[in-house]
Amino acid sequence: MREFDYSKLTEKTWDSEVISYLSKIHEYKGKQELFLRQKPVELARLVEIAKVQSTEASNRIEGIVTTDARLKQLVNDKTTPRNRDEEEILGYRNVLNLIHEDYASIPVTPNYILQLHKYLLEYTDLSYGGRFKTTPNEIVMVTGTGERIVLFKPLQPYETPEAIQRICESLQRELDLGRVDELILICCFLVDFLSIHPFNDGNGRMSRLLTLLLMYRCGYQVGKYISIEKVIADTKESYYEALQKSDKHWHEGKNDPLPFIKYMLGVILKCYRDFERRMTIAEDSGAKSTSYDVVKLCVSEKIGKFSKQSVLASCPSLGSSSVESALKKLVDEGYIVRIGSGRATMYVRADACR
């Protein structure tokens, strides 16, 4: 079995792109506490939006889907699952809630990882929830046409428990020593976790839940308010490409995690930028006289088609009826153009139609 020793990362020199990513993320992390104290109501709304988006996106990556209406009911505990997909969605929601509320009391150890996996699959009839894999598995990519492409063959089942034990111990040891940036450690841990692929099912979803858990425990709270899983789902091809490059020669211990590190740092930075933008809009709304002004400011930054829901997500200080009224007024004034009707309604800035 290959070795897992993250102390070797202290010997690496990171290029200017990685240093720039880390510097900007650290700067946003410094601003984070200020935002968290300023707008508690808006933050609570962002949390609820992010929970829905995270649950939908992380499951969508694996081809697990339901309707928007059913998804919101499941996330808000207003219904019970009707099929296998909804059972898995509900399990993800429960683990996500647990991490949001109790991350400080959930150490990243094999036993806790197994417990989280058990909760992930607790609504299904699958018997292997909370157990490491018992049969060999593969890392596959599902294309838009449904084609499954094998990207990597992970460790064998008999090697898995010890490998997970080693990466958890090495990660915690380096986090305690503080010699390597926490975000780089998290990214390298995720590459190893996904390369080990420790479960018969649920590896991708568990990796994204562990991403949030580790980030929260290290003080990076942005995933509570902006869905990291949605950004990953929206760039799924880049995610798989970065992972595929980073696990090349993994079995020999000669892989380079840099592509995945850069990809994940880019995702995290985008989330922090979105967080600041939404909180700035919320702050501006306190000084503006009407919700119309807030929505117009938000819409002025939109490129391409957008929905009422995306405006709601960007304007956490406003309610649904206020946003709807403002959008109608902007349509009447010719500032934006309505496309479609009913639930399929989209909008686009009028200056994009000239």
Pairwise CA distance, residues 133 & 297, whole Å: 51
Two structure tokens written together for 353: 């139609």
Give residues with Cβ within 8 angstroms of 37, minimum separation 6.
Answer: none
Residue 160 burial (CB < 10 Å; 0-12/13-18/19+)?
buried
Each residue's pLDDT tens digit, 160-181: 999 999 999 999 999 999 999 9
Residue 229 burial (CB < 10 Å; 0-12/13-18/19+)?
buried
**What angle, rounded to 10 degrees, do the helices at 160-177 and 182-196 form?**
180
CB 181 within 8 A of CB 198: no
* Greatest CA separation for the chain: 67
pLDDT reported for residue 150: 83
Give residues with Cβ within 8 angstroms of 236, minimum separation 6.
Answer: 61
Among the listed residues 320, 317, 319, the one whose alpha carbon sits nearest the alpha carbon of residue 39:
317
pLDDT reported for residue 286: 55
Each residue's pLDDT tens digit, 196-211: 999 999 999 999 999 9
3-state secondary structure the chain: CCCCCHHHHHHCCCCHHHHHHHHHHHHHHHHHHHHHHHCHHHHHHHHHHHHHHHHHHHHHHCCCCCCHHHHHHHHCCCCCCCCHHHHHHHHHHHHHHHHHHHHHHCCCCHHHHHHHHHHHCCCCCCCCCCCCCCCCCCEEEECCCCCEEEEECCCCHHHHHHHHHHHHHHHHHHHHHCCCCHHHHHHHHHHHHHHHCCCCCCHHHHHHHHHHHHHHHCCCCHHHCCCHHHHHHHCHHHHHHHHHHHCCCHHHCCCCCHHHHHHHHHHHHHHHHHHHHHHHHHHHHHHCCCHHHHHHHHHCCCCCCECHHHHHHHCCCCCHHHHHHHHHHHHHCCCEEEECCHHHCEEEEHHHCC
Give the C-alpha distances (Å, rounded to integers) separating 253 from 5, 185, 256, 262.
10, 16, 9, 20
CB 352 within 8 A of CB 334: no
pLDDT reported for residue 287: 54
Two structure tokens written together for 39: 């707008």
Average pLDDT for consecutive 10-residue bins of the chain (354 residues)?
92 97 96 81 88 95 93 93 96 97 97 98 96 91 79 93 98 98 98 97 97 98 96 95 95 96 98 90 63 88 90 85 93 93 90 80
Pairwise CA distance, residues 282 & 39, whole Å: 8
Among the listed residues 85, 78, 83, the one whose alpha carbon sits nearest the alpha carbon of residue 60:
85
In the chain the domains, ranked by start, together with CATH numbers, are 6-279 (1.10.3290.10), 290-352 (1.10.10.10)
